[in-house]
């Protein structure tokens, strides 16, 4: 079992616990309604999923939902099409598989059932808060008022602990031969801290951390509230850090959708660049200090670090954080030109590539548009056990990585993944497309983006990356893609080309059919090549 899956935090909720922030984001304990049924999002520690857990998700999705499983752009998993009345059974099955935080007492099962019922009947915003109250009622009938209060605290703690589990690392952490530092133990420590500290319940479910070990297979362009990146210095590895942005980096090779531009509909990033450098052993204390500082200083409507930085300077934030630290923390002007030394290469998520340990490889494949069914997930679980270490790594490119494969078995695993329907070669057009749920799964979608993306894949010019969005919210992409198709009506899209301006970029043409879009993309691709 991996380091990350060994985390078993205890949950404590004091009388002074902060009021939970309402959220419409799906969670394990917050099933959100969509056009195709409920959505249950499962946050994975470091993107890791054991083979047994993968089988549990596959079974639960087939029993209690539509059997549709999605990989997300934050390396999590979500089950779509959860059936009305089946929410409690789904949640219980997933928690039994160790996929969510659990209260320490025995009232968890009552709390889980009530949470699912409320998610369906009372709406996502009220479900978690009502869960705590109803868990108390259930416990009171069995064990009295004292036990009821304890049950409420445990239920609320579990719900909020699920929300704050937002730490991203490389899917190849601990295996990438270019890594400067194995971030998995640090990630596990941060996840334990996030779930154990009472005040962190007040953080938004979107508040997120990036821990970059210097791997080549790394998604370092997602803006994070706090990012930390390993850096090789003369006296050893240090972690530089910044706020509300991404580690500064040079050109990317094969980096699907990688850009420093924020997608439309998402608030702008107030990127501080590299602020200071600390020892690896100081990372947990620093993160704790910065999160407590955020909660101390942020207004009630400020949910992200970028909001705090509009009212407080970086120096002011660091000065406030110092009170929580026993080592000096000051902004280091010498880091103003720091950038990530190793270029990230998104192509390494596909195919077979050597690991740090000689004679071993990781093998990666991408299900079309990030969706797979129960049989496919079961097949991947079997492959990971037969040829690897029994662990699946979900990537932020909506793909899967199997690690610790004997090099000689790499071709066999690659063939098996292809047979399961995964794309394993970056030359395949489908690996250059992302699409939201579209009108088939979302009431706000104006077009069936998933179906239209498959049509695009049949003729997409080589090396062209396209994002299809059913509406302007841009849920499927954190950044502007080189080309964006914004749905205008069923089968019709406005085509945007990224050019550095805010939003999707320049609107090249409006009201295009998929056939007209392909003709336009071919012309644009030729003009880029000629230039």
Closest listed residue to residue 156, CA positions, set 177, 178, 139: 139
- How many domains, in total, are found in the chain? 4
State whether 74 and 88 are in the same domain: yes
The CATH number given to whatever domain includes residue 15 is 3.90.480
Tokens representing residue 531 in the block: 């230039």
Give the chain's length.
531
359 occurs within a structural domain: no
Cβ atoms within 10 Å, residue 490: 12
The CATH number given to whatever domain includes residue 282 is 3.30.413.10
For residue 459, what pLDDT is reported? 93
| Vertex 421 angle, CA 418 and 427, to 5° | 60
State whether 192 and 319 are in the same domain: yes
Q: Which residues does 425 contact at the CB level (< 8 Å), separation at least 6?
A: 350, 351, 431
State whether 159 and 17 are in the same domain: yes
pLDDT tens digit string along 243-253? Answer: 999 999 864 44
360 occurs within a structural domain: no
Boundary-marking domain end, from 313, 335, 357: 335
Handedness of CA 298, 299, 303, 308 (dihedral sign): negative
Q: Mapping DSSP to helix (H, G, I), strand (E, B) and coil, where does residue 398 land? A: coil
Biggest CA pair distance of the chain: 77
Boundary-marking domain end, from 426, 449, 475: 426
Mean pLDDT is lowest, of 88-92, 219-223, 352-356, for: 219-223
State whether 475 and 507 are in the same domain: yes
Closest listed residue to residue 528, CA positions, set 457, 481, 461: 461
Q: Mapping DSSP to helix (H, G, I), strand (E, B) and coil, where does residue 219 land? A: coil
For residue 244, what pLDDT is reported? 95
349 occurs within a structural domain: no
| pLDDT-based confidence at residue 159 (cuts at 50, 70, 90) | low
pLDDT tens digit string along 494-529? Answer: 999 988 777 788 999 999 999 999 999 999 988 876
For residue 99, what are the CA distances in angstroms to 7, 77, 191, 267?
11, 11, 13, 31
Residue 420 has pLDDT above 50, yes or no: yes
403 occurs within a structural domain: yes
Residue 94 has pLDDT above 80, yes or no: yes
State whether 141 and 171 are in the same domain: no
Q: Mapping DSSP to helix (H, G, I), strand (E, B) and coil, where does residue 37 land? A: strand
Return the percentage of the chain with pLDDT > 70, whole number. Answer: 79
Please give the distance of CA 61 from its chain centroid, rounded to a whole number. 20
Answer whether 84's CB lies under 8 Å from 31's CB. no
Answer whether 275's CB lies under 8 Å from 243's CB. yes
For residue 530, what pLDDT is reported? 59
Tokens representing residue 507 in the block: 């609107």
Boundary-marking domain end, from 426, 442, 476: 426
For residue 108, what pLDDT is reported? 40
Answer whether 79's CB lies under 8 Å from 53's CB. no
Closest listed residue to residue 401, CA positions, set 198, 127, 171: 171
Beta-bridge partners for 80 = 68
Q: What is the mean pLDDT of residues 316-328?
A: 97
Closest listed residue to residue 17, CA positions, set 288, 294, 203, 225: 203
Tokens representing residue 319 in the block: 């000065």
State whether 120 and 18 are in the same domain: yes
| pLDDT-based confidence at residue 280 (cuts at 50, 70, 90) | very high
Question: Rounded to an integer, what distance in angstroms lies between the CA atom of residue 213 and that of residue 179?
Answer: 6
Q: Mapping DSSP to helix (H, G, I), strand (E, B) and coil, where does residue 434 land? A: strand
pLDDT tens digit string along 254-279? Answer: 434 444 444 444 544 578 899 999 99
Q: Which residues does 270 contact at the CB level (< 8 Å), separation at least 6?
A: 243, 244, 245, 305, 306, 309, 310
State whether 441 and 414 are in the same domain: no
Please give the distance of CA 519 from its chain centroid, rounded to a whole number. 34
| pLDDT-based confidence at residue 376 (cuts at 50, 70, 90) | very high
114 occurs within a structural domain: yes
475 vs 299, higher pLDDT: 299
State whether 257 and 193 are in the same domain: yes
pLDDT tens digit string along 456-482? Answer: 999 999 989 999 999 998 888 776 789
512 occurs within a structural domain: yes
For residue 23, what pLDDT is reported? 60
| pLDDT-based confidence at residue 78 (cuts at 50, 70, 90) | very high
State whether 171 and 308 are in the same domain: yes
Answer whether 462's CB lies under 8 Å from 425's CB. no
Q: Mapping DSSP to helix (H, G, I), strand (E, B) and coil, where does residue 245 land? A: strand
354 occurs within a structural domain: no
Helix then strand count (H, E) for the chain reads 13, 20
Domain that holds residue 315: 167-335
Return the percentage of the chain with pLDDT > 90, whole number. Answer: 73
State whether 233 and 197 are in the same domain: yes
User: Which strands sit side by side in the sheet containing 360-365, from one edge to the other?
Assistant: 48-50, 391-394, 400-406, 360-365, 351-354
For residue 111, what pLDDT is reported? 43
State whether 482 and 396 are in the same domain: no
Tokens representing residue 7 in the block: 């985390």
State whether 111 and 194 are in the same domain: no
202 occurs within a structural domain: yes
Cβ atoms within 10 Å, residue 213: 27
pLDDT tens digit string along 187-231? Answer: 999 999 999 998 999 999 999 999 999 999 999 988 899 999 999
């Amino acid at each position: 079992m991996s380091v990350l899956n060994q985390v078993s935090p205890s949950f404590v909720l004091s009388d002074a616990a902060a009021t939970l922030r309402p959220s419409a984001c799906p969670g394990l304990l917050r099933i959100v309604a969509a056009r195709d049924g409920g959505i249950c999002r499962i946050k994975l520690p470091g993107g890791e999923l054991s083979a047994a857990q993968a089988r549990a998700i596959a079974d639960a999705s087939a029993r209690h939902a539509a059997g549709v499983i999605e990989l997300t752009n934050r390396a999590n998993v979500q089950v779509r099409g959860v059936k009305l009345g089946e929410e409690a059974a789904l949640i219980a099955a997933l928690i039994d598989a160790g996929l969510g935080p659990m209260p320490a007492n025995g009232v968890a099962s009552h709390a889980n059932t009530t949470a699912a019922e409320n998610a369906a009947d009372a709406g996502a915003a009220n479900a978690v808060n009502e869960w705590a109250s109803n868990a108390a009622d259930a416990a009171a009938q069995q064990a009295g008022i004292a036990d009821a209060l304890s049950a409420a605290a445990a239920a609320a703690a579990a719900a909020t602990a699920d929300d704050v589990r937002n730490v991203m690392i490389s899917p190849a952490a601990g295996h990438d031969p270019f890594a400067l530092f194995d971030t998995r133990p640090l990630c596990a420590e941060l996840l334990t801290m996030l779930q154990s500290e009472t005040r962190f319940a007040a953080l938004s479910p979107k508040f997120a951390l990036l821990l970059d070990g210097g791997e080549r297979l790394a998604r370092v362009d997602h803006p994070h509230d706090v990012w930390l990146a390993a850096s090789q210095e003369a006296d050893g590895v240090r972690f530089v850090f910044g706020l509300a942005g991404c580690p500064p980096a040079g050109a990317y090779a094969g980096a699907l959708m990688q850009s420093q531009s924020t997608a439309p509909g998402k608030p702008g990033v107030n990127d501080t660049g590299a602020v200071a450098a600390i020892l690896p052993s100081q990372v947990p204390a620093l993160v704790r200090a910065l999160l407590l500082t955020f909660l101390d200083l942020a207004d009630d409507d400020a949910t992200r670090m970028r909001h705090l930085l509009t009212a407080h300077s970086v120096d002011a934030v660091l000065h406030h954080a110092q009170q929580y630290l026993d080592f000096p923390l000051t902004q280091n002007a010498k880091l103003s030109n720091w950038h990530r030394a190793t270029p990230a290469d998104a192509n390494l998520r596909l195919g077979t590539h050597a690991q740090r340990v000689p004679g071993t490889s990781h093998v990666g494949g991408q299900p079309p548009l990030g969706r797979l069914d129960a049989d496919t997930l079961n097949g991947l679980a079997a492959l990971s056990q037969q040829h690897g270490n029994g662990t699946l790594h979900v990537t932020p490119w909506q793909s899967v990585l199997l690690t610790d494969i004997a090099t000689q078995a790499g071709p066999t695993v690659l063939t098996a993944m292809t047979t399961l329907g995964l794309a394993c070669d970056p030359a395949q057009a489908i690996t250059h497309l992302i699409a939201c749920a579209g009108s088939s799964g979302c009431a706000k979608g104006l077009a069936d983006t998933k179906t239209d993306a498959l049509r695009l894949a049949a003729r997409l010019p080589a090396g062209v990356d396209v994002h299809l969005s059913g509406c302007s919210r841009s849920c499927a992409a954190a950044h502007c893609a080189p080309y964006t198709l914004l749905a205008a009506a069923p089968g019709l899209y406005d085509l945007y080309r990224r050019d550095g301006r805010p939003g999707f970029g320049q609107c090249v043409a409006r009201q295009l059919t998929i056939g007209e879009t392909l003709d336009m993309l071919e012309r644009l691709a030729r003009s880029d090549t000629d230039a």
